[in-house]
Amino acid sequence: MTIETYEPFAIPDSFCDGLVRIERLGQCRRLVFTVSDPHALGGPVRNIVAKLIVPSELMAELAQMLAADCRELVNTFDRLPVDAVMN
């Protein structure tokens, strides 16, 4: 099964230089990514630039695919029901 995708308006890419925490949200996990701001007043800080929520059962598989530099991450999400991440 292939889920068609489209981008109705330009969504800018966000550069992230760190994963600062993983939060438990029921059956999902929220990954919080940051970018360092060395010029912030009062010393270096990390600005949150992205929060990604994924079903927890995909975490191990995503980690393996990322470690292997796999280009097929989208296929992992194709196996989920359309509303899996919303619930």
CA angle 41, 11, 13 (to 5 degrees): 55
Residue boundaries of the structural domains of the chain: 18-78
pLDDT band of residue 60 (cuts 50, 70, 90) is confident
Spatial separation of the C-alpha atoms in residues 10 and 16, rounded to whole Å: 19
- Mean confidence (pLDDT) of the chain: 78
**pTM score, whole prediction:** 0.62
pLDDT tens, residue by residue, 25-46:
999 999 999 888 877 787 778 8
Which residue type, as a one-letter code, is found at position 84? A
